[in-house]
Structure 1
Amino acid sequence: MKKSIKILLCTMLTAGSMLAGCSSQQDKTTVELAEVTRSIFYAPLYAAMEKGFFEEENIDIELTTTWGGDKTMTALLSEGADIALVGAETSIYVNSQDPAEPIINFAMLTRTDGTFLMAREEPDNFQWEDLNDSVFLGQRKGGMPQMTGEYVLKHNDIDPHEDLELIQNVDFANIANSFASGTGDYVQLFEPQATKFEQEGIAHIAASFGEESGPIPYTVFMAEQSFFENDEETALRFTRALYRAQQWIYEASPEEIGTVLAPYFDDTPESTIADAAVRYRSQRSYAETPLLPEEAWNNLQNIMEEAGELPERSDYDKYVDTTIAETVTEK
């Protein structure tokens, strides 16, 4: 197995009281987790780590940021990670290529798109038709942010390839800087950049792509099928810790959220972290349970299909395992 198991051994030379304490401990499991990027959009994951929810399940998380969907899936398929946190569309791409073993989605982290339409000029009663004849700095072609963005534009009677000038040749990491330097009238951005731009007066939020596109399994924890066959108990413990964090993020104060997430965002003030997380929470971008609904799975594929990026329809029952999420959420 790729997963490293660290057994907590007890010495037989120890007296009875120490033996009793050792017997109550489970094996400590190290889970290698690859996240596609570092984002406040993933707040429940960092909360689970910082609040000790994984530790209470006797799990050590070794978190690696892989910076890109392709790199994340390469890590998963090459035994560089046990679990990947990435857009569900990547599992559809990989599974359509008949991998050695299928990629299974088992716990949903975010349930909407996480981007916002930012306008250079503060909009007065924004209408989608305002984008006509504008310059729109979008996301990478084939990526979920761009597919969702185009889906929303089309459903608001805007043809992204005819009614405006769509720029897609800027790397993800440079999109915000490119807009700040003067490129485009509108831009599609994640938090906390959206909040930072508003605070600095660079741009203003005109609309939320997450609210417009509806529920989709935007970011999901997934693993190869053998992970569940070899150690389903670890998957259950992992998901149970995640579920606690999902509940916590909807109950915590903005100040507490900012403090808990701060270690993961060194260059961002706690108040900005809190504002960004609360914005996501207010539109229910964070999944409230790890369960991935079939309706959301189908909505994802509809968006991909409309963008011309869906290789084939992906069977929900085959590539989504709901039993783990159902088990941990049972009262």
Structure 2
Amino acid sequence: MRWFKRSLFFSVIAVLLLSLAACNKHELEKVKVGEVTRSIFYAPQYVALEKGFFEDEGLSVELQTIAGGDKTMTALLSDGIDIALVGSETSIYVTLQGANDPIQNFAQLTQTDGTFLVARDKIDNFSWDLLKGSTFLGQRKGGMPQMAGEFVLKKHGIDPTQDLTLIQNIDFANIATAFASGTGDFVQLFEPTASVFEKEGKGYIVASFGTESGHLPYTSFMAKSSYLKDESKTVQGFTNALKRAQDFVQKESAAEVAKIIQPYFENVDVDLIETVVERYKSQGSYATDPILEKGEWDNLQTIMEEAGELPQRVDYEELVNTTFAKKAAE
């Protein structure tokens, strides 16, 4: 009888614990996040998801990929998502159009351009002058990749409108296909496409736009000002989880990071993911903390001015909220 009572007692405790766990899981705060594209460039975000860092903060993050900055911002403005992961320049565009509820950048994910210059033919001794007279397949006009690309070309004394044939009317999703089909002598590509092309002999990485353009808030998490105010606890938890993931990526090997994020890149070999992660880590593309610094913001707007895409500058304090990032970094 004593054995039976003891067994019954532990059975009741087990049921209560399972019920409590189920309740806790049910009570996780849902956060809808939209990323502008799926990219190894965003490795810390996937690490935070896979390692359960968001759940540790009481959050259930629903991630969706929305192709294009315009569509991502439309989803954010229409409350289709709570948080957007997109280039910081989009918050400036929205503000200059007169948004009633300003979009603010609250956590930085990447701090350099993430694209690479890929040549159709192998070049042993690359020089930027080789682009003169060539056909350059660039990114969408007004987007950060294209603006950073033009900034780098000008830095090396190349006028994008005079010294080469610039193609930038091809949709982002079709740029790689167009190059593979024979369009252009050079192309500006993100990873892992650049490394895949190199592996398959379709092109060769000859330079990094990230190392050439300097630090800038290339990709940040942003939300409506009202959301940051009304859901401050949720935003803080989200930023805390991101900081843990950033620390993990900085500390762990590229091989370990690649293994963790592979589920998000099912058609990419894990060794290739490792190569890409190592490349981004070595050039300092992953932000070490979520704080968006004023110097980076100023560099962003300088690049936009150089591209003729910035009618007027927007103050750092107006569109950057570092409250959550600084607390997470403490």
Question: TM-score w.r.t. structure 2 length?
Answer: 0.92
Aligned to 1:5: none
AA partner of residue 274 (structure 1): E
Helix, strand or coil at the partner of 2:231: helix
Helix, strand or coil at the partner of 1:109: strand
Q: Distance in 2 between matches of 1:301 and 1:255?
A: 35
Residue-by-residue CA offset, 1:64-118 (whole Å, 9 max, x unaligned): 1111111111111111111000000000000111212111100000000000001
Alpha-carbon contact 1:93-1:311 (below 8 Å) kept: no
- RMSD between superposed Cα atoms in Å: 2.0
Instruction: Note the C-alpha offset of 1:255.
Output: 2.2
AA partner of residue 257 (structure 2): I
Q: How does 1:275-290 map to 2 (within 5 A)?
A: 275-290=275-290
Aligned to 1:107: 107
Helix, strand or coil at the partner of 2:80: coil
Q: How does 1:28-177 map to 2 (within 5 A)?
A: 28-177=28-177
Gaps of 5+ in 1: 1-13
Residue-by-residue CA offset, 1:263-290 (whole Å, 9 max, x unaligned): 1111111111111111111101010100
Bigger proportion of residues as helix: 2
Aligned to 1:186: 186
Identity %: 57
Helix, strand or coil at the partner of 2:79: coil
Q: Distance in 2 between matches of 1:204 and 1:66?
A: 28
Q: Distance in 2 between matches of 1:39 and 1:255?
A: 17
Aligned to 1:273: 273
AA partner of residue 118 (structure 2): M
Aligned residue pairs total 317
Helix, strand or coil at the partner of 1:44: helix
Instruction: Note the C-alpha offset of 1:316.
Output: 0.5
Alpha-carbon contact 1:297-1:316 (below 8 Å) kept: yes
AA partner of residue 190 (structure 2): F
From the CA coordinates, give the structure whose radius of gyration is larger. Answer: 2
Residue-by-residue CA offset, 1:32-70 (whole Å, 9 max, x unaligned): 101111111111001100011111111100111111111
Question: TM-score w.r.t. structure 1 length?
Answer: 0.92
Helix, strand or coil at the partner of 1:260: helix
Q: Distance in 2 between matches of 1:229 and 1:163?
A: 49
AA partner of residue 269 (structure 1): D
Helix, strand or coil at the partner of 1:63: strand
Alpha-carbon contact 1:36-1:65 (below 8 Å) kept: yes
Q: Distance in 1 between matches of 2:258 and 2:322?
A: 31
Q: Following TM superposition, where does structure 1 have runs of at least 4 consecutive aligned residues deviating by more than 4 angstroms?
A: 21-27
